[in-house]
Amino acid sequence: MTNSANSDIARLCKEHGLRLTGARKIIMQVLLKSNDHPDAVELHRRVSKIDSRVAIATVYRTLNMLRDKGVLERHTFADGRARYETTDNEHHDHLINVETGDVVEFRSDEIERLQEEIARAHGFEIVNHRLEIYVRPLEKPQRRAGRAKA
């Protein structure tokens, strides 16, 4: 891990009044490097590759604590699993692949503008929002050569 990433983790802990234990440091390191939205089980799998002594209960406690302190945001998509991402990103929305569970982040100024217009038309201003669009691939993956058709 880079010194910059280490200092980011130390800064986050200091800002939120958290003691930086070895397990928390590894968990936060993995979260900061994640390009997806891991659930606790997937996060534990990744953390265990670095330090197999970190228990899944520690992962759950750390996730809850980081969420309570505002460091993480929790998403529960249609699959029912709680997934996490850091809150230091700019606002974005999500495309969720219903076949694989993959999550794609995107930002659309046009969608943001339309949401503002709709809220104003109904006499409101948007305070916060979350947009999750459940999608299916337009094309099925190509079958591998040599596989029998069902």
Who contacts 59 (Cβ-Cβ below 8 Å, separation ≥6)? 27, 40, 43, 44, 47
Whether residue 51 is annotated as binding a ligand: the answer is no
CA nearest neighbour of 133 among 109, 104, 110, 99: 104
CA nearest neighbour of 28 among 101, 74, 84: 84
Cβ atoms within 10 Å of 38's Cβ, excluding its own: 22
Alpha carbons within 13 A on the beta-carbon side of 30: 25
Token look-up 């495309």 returns 95
Whether residue 16 is annotated as binding a ligand: the answer is no
What totals of helices (H) and strands (E) does the chain contain, helices first?
5, 5
Whether residue 129 is annotated as binding a ligand: the answer is yes
Whether residue 93 is annotated as binding a ligand: the answer is yes
- Annotated binding residues for Fe cation, written as ranges, equal 91, 93, 112, 129
- Annotated binding residues, written as ranges, equal 91, 93, 112, 129
